[in-house]
Chains A and B, each alone.
Chain A
Amino acid sequence: NAGVTQTPKFRVLKTGQSMTLLCAQDMNHEYMYWYRQDPGMGLRLIHYSVGEGTTAKGEVPDGYNVSRLKKQNFLLGLESAAPSQTSVYFCASRPKKTGGSHWNTGELFFGEGSRLTVL
């Protein structure tokens, strides 16, 4: 099973360039998330989506845009990259909690990460 797949795995950009990170999940999960990981700061939530066609801001949304046109895909865009956006980006997903059953206890399923360097 593929689970959560992120592309590309590595990318180097120049300041001002744009790019899109793609996250794809094959688990039919409703909720999807984009986090960034920086040394000493753990993971911080950028944007998230609770279903197809819906997105919302997380803790550090500035400089990023997202789209969820299909349930299985969650795209993270940088319109004008800045050196402060040099980071490792992780996509995650989870099913929507239903009925309070313990089969779904809220853990996130992560992709392997995308390392972005902005020069």
Chain B
Amino acid sequence: AQSVTQPDIHITVSEGASLELRCNYSYGATPYLFWYVQSPGQGLQLLLKYFSGDTLVQGIKGFEAEFKRSQSSFNLRKPSVHWSDAAEYFCAVGPGPNAGGTSYGKLTFGQGTILTVHP
């Protein structure tokens, strides 16, 4: 069964500092990987996704993530955090191109990491 682990429940950084949020996944085949962000009281917005090719993917708001197949990881990074980045971040894994017809696009989400940014 597929699973996603986000080891850090809560991370606090100072504004301007660098950020790395960890994500480890378990999946039987080549997956598609996603990072979503949820601001307080809001829905989920897609930050970035990996589906093939270059293992370093760029997203919105200056975020990037690196897919490391050997480590089953897809960590999210940002070089300089802004106060507006304070939110909850979710890593998700879904069926990739060779998943077969019964996966029906279901995504499995991690537990989420809450990011607090200090001024």
Interface string of A106-117 (1 = CB under 8 A from B): 111011110000
What residues of A have a CB within 8 angstroms of the CB of B51 in the complex? Answer: 102, 105-106
**Which of B6, B95, B110, B111 has most chain A Cβ within 10 Å?**
B111
The answer to the question of A14 belonging to the interface, with a C-beta cut-off of 8 Å to chain B, is: no
What residues of B have a CB within 8 angstroms of the CB of A112 in the complex? Answer: 42-43
A68–chain B nearest beta-carbon distance, Å: 13
**Which of A50, A97, A108, A111 has most chain B Cβ within 10 Å?**
A108
B49 touches A107 (CB 8 A): yes
Known: A102-B51, A105-B49, A110-B44. A97 touches B109 (CB 8 A): no
Known: A102-B52, A112-B43. A48 touches B90 (CB 8 A): no
What residues of B have a CB within 8 angstroms of the CB of A58 in the complex? Answer: 106
B106 touches A48 (CB 8 A): yes
The answer to the question of B97 belonging to the interface, with a C-beta cut-off of 8 Å to chain A, is: yes
Residue of A nearest to B46 (CB): A107
Interface string of B80-107 (1 = CB under 8 A from A): 0000000000100011110000001111
Task: Apart from A45-B108, A108-B44, A112-B43, list 14 A-B contacts with CB within 8 A.
Answer: A35-B109, A40-B9, A42-B110, A45-B107, A48-B104, A90-B44, A102-B52, A105-B32, A106-B32, A106-B95, A106-B96, A107-B32, A110-B43, A110-B45
Chain B contacts to A: CB under 8 angstroms: 4, 6, 9, 32, 34, 36, 42-46, 49, 51-52, 90, 94-97, 104-112
Give 4 closest A-B pairs by Cβ, nearest first.
A105-B51, A42-B109, A112-B43, A43-B109
